[in-house]
Amino acid sequence: MAAEMRGAHAIQVEGLRVTFGDFVAIPNLTFTASYGEIHGVIGPNGAGKTTLLDVITGKTRPKEGTVLLDGKIDLRRLSEPQIALAGVGRKFQKPSVFEALSVRENLELALRLRAGSILSELRGWTDPRRAARVAEVLGETGLTDRADAPAGILAHGQKQWLEIGMLLMQRPKLLMLDEPVAGMTDSETSHTADLVRRLRAPDRAILVIEHDMAFVEEIATRVTVLHEGTPIFAGAMADARTDARVRDVYLGRH
C-alpha cells in the first residue's frame, strides 16, 4: 500500500479563491503536496499561508476552488471534525493542548479507534490498542517521563511536542504544522527538527509553515514560496534561495 501511495497527491488544491469582504487573501491558488514528502510553505506575513491551512481544515470556507485529500475526498463538503477524521491533522501556531489533563490523557483523547461516534469511542476507551499507541507516541516525542504531569505545567517546547504527539495518535495522511518552532530555544528547535523528520512516512505528507528559513532548509524536501496568496516558487529550498523573484519579495525584506 505504501509503495502505491508514494508520489501520489496527499492534498491537491486547485483554483482556490479566498476573500474576506473586499480583501482577497488568496486570488487563485493551485498547490499540491505528495505522500512521503516534508513540504515547507514559506512567505512573508500575509502571504496566505495560514489561510491555506484554514481552508484545508475547514475553518475557512472558500468561495471557489477544489480541495481534495488523497485525490478523492472533497474536503469542502466536510465539517471540521469530519476533515480531522478523514486524515488531516493540524498543529496550531500557539501550543494548543488540554492544560488540565495529563500528557497521557491528552494523547488518549487524540486517538480515534471508532471514528463513527463519540459514544462508541468512549465505550472502547480501555481498548489495549489505546494504551499501546500512547506508550509508543510518548516514546517518539520524548515525553515518557512527563506522562502523568498536567499539560499546563509543561515547558513551551514540550507542549509543542505533546501537540505533535496528539496528531501522531491520529496517524494523519496529511500533517500540517503551523510555525512549529516559533518561540523555541535552539536545542528545542533541533529536537523538533528531529521529531518532524521521524514523522516522515511513505503514507503521509507533512506540510510545514515557517518563518525560520534555516529550520525549513533543514527538514523540508520541497518548498513552496507564497506571495500575496500566489505561489511564486516551488522546488528545492536551495534553489529557492537563489531564485530572483523569491529574493525580491521575501528574502530581500529580511
The residues that touch other proteins, with contacts defined as CB under 8 A, are 57, 79-82, 84-85, 89-90, 92, 96-102, 105, 108-110, 112, 115, 118, 121-122, 125, 150, 152-156, 159, 163, 166, 170
Q: Which residue's CB is nearer to other proteins, number 30 or number 185?
A: 185
* In the block, residue with C-alpha cell 471534525: 81
Give the nearer residue to other proteins in terms of CB position, either 101 or 234: 101
* CA atoms of 243 and 52, how far apart (whole Å): 23
The minimum distance between CB 204 and other proteins, in angstroms, equals 17
**Minimum distance from residue 120 beta carbon to other proteins (Å):** 12
Give dist(CA 184, CA 145) in Å, integer. 21
Asked whether 125 and 191 are in contact (CB, 8 A), the reply is no
Q: Residues 6 or more apart from 74 whose CB is under 8 A from it?
A: 66, 67, 68
The answer to whether the Cα torsion of 217, 220, 221, 226 is positive or negative is negative
Q: What is the C-alpha separation between 70 and 9, in angstroms, rounded?
A: 6
Pick between residue 205 and residue 232 the one whose CB is nearest to other proteins.
205
For other proteins, the closer of residues 131 and 234 by Cβ is: 131
Closer residue to other proteins (CB): 139 or 152: 152
At closest approach, how far in Å is the CB of 110 from other proteins?
5
Nearer of residues 132 and 236 to other proteins, judged by Cβ: 132
What distance in Å separates the CA atoms of residue 221 and residue 79, rounded to the nearest whole number?
A: 30
Q: Is 120 exposed, middle or buried (0-12, 13-18, 19+ CB in 10 A)?
A: exposed
Euclidean distance between CA atoms 88 and 80, whole angstroms: 10
Question: Residue 73 has what DSSP assignment?
Answer: E
Residue 219 C-beta: closest distance to other proteins, Å? 22
Least Å distance between CB 173 and other proteins? 13
Q: Are 151 and 159 in contact (CB under 8 A)?
A: yes
Whole-number minimum distance, CB 233 to other proteins, in Å? 29
CB of 152 to other proteins, least distance (A): 5
Query: Of 97 and 225, which CB lies nearer to other proteins in the complex structure?
Result: 97
**Number of C-beta neighbours around residue 124 at 10 A:** 12
